[in-house]
């Protein structure tokens, strides 16, 4: 558990999947990026599916939901996902049930961040996994997910978000938003048009869940290394520049979603270069 003033943050896991290194590192040659993380025989690198359960102002708030369990065995094998029940099992380990979640915040609607929004019921219909929760989604992100193009249709799937609207559990927001007096959402575009980060600020302490604005620690240390997944790569760089300045000024705790080796760290600048100092290793 991480304490930020009055805010309690519990990192929780939906497991690990394996992604092609070329997607994660974009135009960076393998001869360079394999010094950061060694790929397997299929050129894949591990990607954590780290989510957060945040307790703030009497609310229990889940940030992202991982891939979920709506996969066939073949699909699960392709992704290298572990067994079913990952996120819910990790929440249960901390004493939380699906019914205890008041709000779900989706940083964006790519499948590895919102697949656990819903589950199959006994009639093989997708229904909300968290029956009491209000799910918060950015307006532009929802529009992009509803009308994907040739590049994005492989990661936006209606079963992950449309059932929320049918169940009247979807809250569409537009821009930076306050969740509680201590917790806010801020647009951090580049990965998608309206990708958002989650910021906790309480009693002079700050933390930021970066999601895919900087999914691994190296993304803040090497600003030019832009994943092929980012739909607006030049804007992604500008977003990271802004976030690094804010993080250093605030001495904020950085929380990483996909880094399999680092849960959290703090950023410092040394001789004109950025470095993330580990605060909490692999969970």
Q: What is the pLDDT of residues 227-275, one digit of tens each?
A: 999 999 999 999 999 999 999 999 999 999 999 999 999 999 988 899 9
Q: Is the dihedral of CA 33, 34, 40, 43 positive or negative?
A: positive
- Protein fold of 2-281: Metallo-beta-lactamase; Chain A (3.60.15)
Query: Residue 42: CB partners within 8 Å, gap ≥ 6?
Result: 18, 20
The two beta strands, 205-209 and 253-255, are: parallel
HEC string of 44-73?
EEEEEEEEEEEEECCEEEEECCCCCCCCCH
Single pTM value for the model: 0.95
Model pLDDT for residues 101-112, shown as the tens digit of each residue? 999 999 999 999
| Residue 252 in tokens | 């904020």
Domain boundary assignment for the chain: 2-281
Q: Would you state the pLDDT for residue 101?
A: 98
Residue 111 belongs to what H/E stretch? Answer: helix 111-114
pLDDT of 281 above 70: no
The 8-class DSSP code of residue 252 comes to P
Q: Where does residue 215 rank: exposed (0-12), middle (13-18), buried (19+ CB within 10 A)? A: buried
Question: Residue 214: pLDDT above 70?
Answer: yes
Residue appearing with tokens 């620690």: 217
Segment 135-161, tens digit of pLDDT: 999 999 999 999 999 989 999 999 999
pLDDT for 283 equals 46
Q: 153, 79, 159: which is closest to 115 by C-alpha?
A: 159
CA distance 34 to 29: 9
Q: Residue 119 pLDDT > 80, yes or no? A: yes
Give the CA count within 13 Å in the CB-facing half-sphere of 68: 25
CA distances from 57 to 6, 20, 61, 67 (A): 8, 40, 10, 28
Judged against a pLDDT cut of 90, whether residue 116 lies above it is answered with yes
Alpha-carbon gap, residue 209 to 203, rounded angstroms: 18
| Rounded-to-integer distance, Cα 260 and Cα 31, Å | 21
Distances (CA, A) of 40 to 188, 228, 280: 31, 19, 25
* pLDDT value for 271: 87
pLDDT band at 115 (very low <50, low <70, confident <90, very high): very high
DSSP 100: G
For 102, the token pair is 């008041």
């Amino acid at each position: 558990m991480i304490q930020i003033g009055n805010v309690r943050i519990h990192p929780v896991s939906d497991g690990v999947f394996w992604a092609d290194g070329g997607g994660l590192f974009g135009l960076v040659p393998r001869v360079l990026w394999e010094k950061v993380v060694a790929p397997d025989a299929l050129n894949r690198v591990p990607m954590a599916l780290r989510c957060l359960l945040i307790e703030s102002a009497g609310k229990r708030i889940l940030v992202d939901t991982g891939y979920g369990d709506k996969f066939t065995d073949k699909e699960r094998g392709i992704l290298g996902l572990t067994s079913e029940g990952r996120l819910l099992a990790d929440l249960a380990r901390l004493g939380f049930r699906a019914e205890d979640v008041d709000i779900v915040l989706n940083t964006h609607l790519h499948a590895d961040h919102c697949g656990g929004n819903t589950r199959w019921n006994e009639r093989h219909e997708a229904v909300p996994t968290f029956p009491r929760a209000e799910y918060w989604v950015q307006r532009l992100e929802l529009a992009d997910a509803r009308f994907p193009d040739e590049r994005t249709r492989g990661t936006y799937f209606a079963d992950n978000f449309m059932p929320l609207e049918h169940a009247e559990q979807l809250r569409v927001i537009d821009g930076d938003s306050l969740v509680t007096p201590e917790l806010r959402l801020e647009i951090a575009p580049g990965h998608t048009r309206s990708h958002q980060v989650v910021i906790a600020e309480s009693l002079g302490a700050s933390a930021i869940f970066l999601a895919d604005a900087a999914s691994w620690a190296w993304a803040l240390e090497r600003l030019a290394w832009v994943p092929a997944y980012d739909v607006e790569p030049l804007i992604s760089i500008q977003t990271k520049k802004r976030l690094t300045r804010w993080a250093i000024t605030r001495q904020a705790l950085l929380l990483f979603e996909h880094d399999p080796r680092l849960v959290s760290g703090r950023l410092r600048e040394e001789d004109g270069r950025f470095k993330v100092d580990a605060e909490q290793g692999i969970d």
